[in-house]
């Protein structure tokens, strides 16, 4: 972002802060006395769809989302622009915000539409049809689960999630491990994953060129692990003021490509505020995971984000994560460490990273404490 861009952003953020204050005040006026007490102790699968919530995670007041805040548009980068321009835009947005959106990204519209439609249809299935897929085993690559309980003592946020994984290219046995109901989900996933992964790899090449790494730096083990897709489903929530769909977290992977759908909900941490990401039809939201932060020695950061729940409409988002292999040793690139006053992160295998991430939790501060030198 140039000087002018930065100033515009600062002005926008100042306006946003002003609005936030007003909205917070309204929130106080509007908070109802309703409490969420679900039937706890049910088999978890009965909570899908979540017409009767279990123990809902209630956040302390200062951590709750304002019911409404200024929508700040992330930079929208047109990938059909001249490559030099795109490289500059991706790097500037990446360094400033760690988040941006891309359009004209080369993933066919039909592939996106089919994937979104099948995912929405999956969550509309009756609970019995989804039950076979339900699992709380975090090591299972393909499963349905209801939010996460990391470090909360059992309370859950307002999200159900269908996780689908595969190697690349997609092997037949990987595909057969995905749900066969609704019809066509497996094919939609297969047709979606190839161009979406290719988009991620292209963005990584652009970022490499931008930061001064060889363009294929991320081509090997750093990106050869599973491609993981989280289909997040946020049913209408009876008390969106006191909880969240997804708590604040950073992504664990290399790079994330998110289809937000048409319902807003994603919020990104920016200079101490949460900014709402305005959905742009057909766009992917792109952000960096911890592995990219480590590999670039902190030049590109894994930024905290969260998803708000809403009372009115269901929301389904599709997040695609590119991962290193388990054995991959992730370390700051020598050329970036040398220019940046030495390595700022310790080298770690992705397997070991995941082990620690699962215990310390996904907040940026905890992950930094564990891996930053």
Query: Is residue 164 near ligand OGA by the rule CB under 6 A?
Result: no
266 interacts with, out of ligand OGA, Ni ion, none, CB within 5 to 8 A per kind: ligand OGA
Among 114, 226, 251, 304, binds ligand OGA (CB under 6 A): 251
Distance CA 77, CA 286 (A): 10
What's the CA angle centered on 303, arms 302 and 308, to 5 degrees? 135
Tokens representing residue 286 in the block: 């792109």
- Size of the residue set binding ligand OGA (CB under 6 A): 12
Other beta carbons within 10 Å of 166: 22
Nearer to ligand OGA, 185 or 362 (CB): 362
Nearer to ligand OGA, 185 or 285 (CB): 285
Among 317, 330, 332, 353, binds ligand OGA (CB under 6 A): 317
Least distance to ligand OGA from the beta carbon of 272, Å? 19
Pairing verdict, β 273-277 and 266-270: antiparallel
Q: Residues near 200 by Cβ (< 8 Å), separated by ≥ 6?
A: 223, 254, 255, 257, 320, 322
**Under 8 Å between Cβ of 204 and 291:** no
Q: Which of residues 232-291 bind Ni ion (CB under 5 A)?
A: 251
Pairing verdict, β 99-103 and 76-78: parallel
Distance CA 271, CA 301 (A): 13
Q: Is 188 left (phi over 0), alpha (psi -120 to 50) or beta?
A: alpha
Query: Is residue 160 near ligand OGA by the rule CB under 6 A?
Result: no
Nearer to Ni ion, 205 or 290 (CB): 290
Nearer to Ni ion, 186 or 315 (CB): 315
Of 126-134, 188-196, 214-222, 258-266, the window that binds ligand OGA (rule: CB under 6 A) is: 258-266
269 interacts with, out of ligand OGA, Ni ion, none, CB within 5 to 8 A per kind: none
Binding footprint of ligand OGA on the chain (CB under 6 A): 230, 232, 246, 251, 258, 260, 265-266, 305, 307, 317, 319
């Amino acid at each position: 972002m140039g000087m002018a861009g930065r100033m515009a952003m600062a002005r926008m953020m100042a306006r946003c802060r002003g609005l936030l204050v007003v909205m917070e005040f309204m929130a106080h006026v509007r908070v109802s006395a309703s409490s969420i007490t679900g039937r706890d102790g049910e088999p978890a699968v009965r909570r899908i769809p979540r017409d009767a919530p279990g123990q809902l995670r209630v956040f302390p007041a200062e951590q709750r989302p304002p019911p409404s805040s200024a929508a700040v548009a992330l930079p929208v980068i047109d990938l059909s622009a001249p490559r030099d321009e795109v490289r500059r835009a991706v790097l500037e947005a990446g360094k400033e915000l760690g988040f941006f959106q891309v359009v004209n990204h080369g993933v066919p519209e039909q592939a996106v539409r089919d994937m979104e439609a099948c995912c929405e249809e999956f969550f509309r299935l009756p609970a019995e049809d989804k039950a076979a897929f339900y699992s709380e085993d975090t090591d299972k690559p393909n499963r349905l689960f209801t939010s996460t309980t990391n470090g909360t003592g059992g309370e859950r946020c307002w999200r159900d999630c269908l996780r689908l994984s595969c190697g690349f290219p997609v092997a037949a046995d990987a595909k057969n491990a995905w749900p066969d109901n609704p019809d066509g989900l497996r094919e939609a996933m297969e047709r979606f994953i190839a161009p979406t992964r290719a988009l991620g790899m292209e963005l990584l090449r652009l970022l490499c060129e931008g930061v001064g790494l060889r363009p294929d730096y991320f081509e090997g083990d750093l990106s050869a692990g599973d491609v993981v897709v989280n289909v997040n489903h946020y049913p209408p929530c009876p008390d969106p003021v006191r909880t969240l769909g997804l708590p604040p977290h950073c992504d664990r992977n290399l790079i994330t490509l998110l289809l937000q759908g048409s319902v807003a909900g994603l919020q990104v941490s920016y200079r101490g505020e949460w900014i709402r990401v305005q959905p742009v039809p057909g766009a992917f939201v792109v952000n960096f995971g911890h592995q990219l932060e480590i590999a670039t020695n902190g030049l590109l950061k894994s930024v905290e984000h969260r998803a708000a729940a809403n009372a009115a409409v269901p929301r389904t988002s599709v997040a695609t994560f590119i991962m290193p292999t388990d054995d991959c040793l992730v370390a700051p690139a020598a050329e970036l460490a040398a220019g940046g006053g030495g390595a700022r992160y310790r080298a770690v295998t992705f397997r070991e990273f995941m082990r620690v991430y699962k215990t310390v939790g996904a907040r940026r501060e905890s992950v930094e404490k564990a891996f930053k030198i």
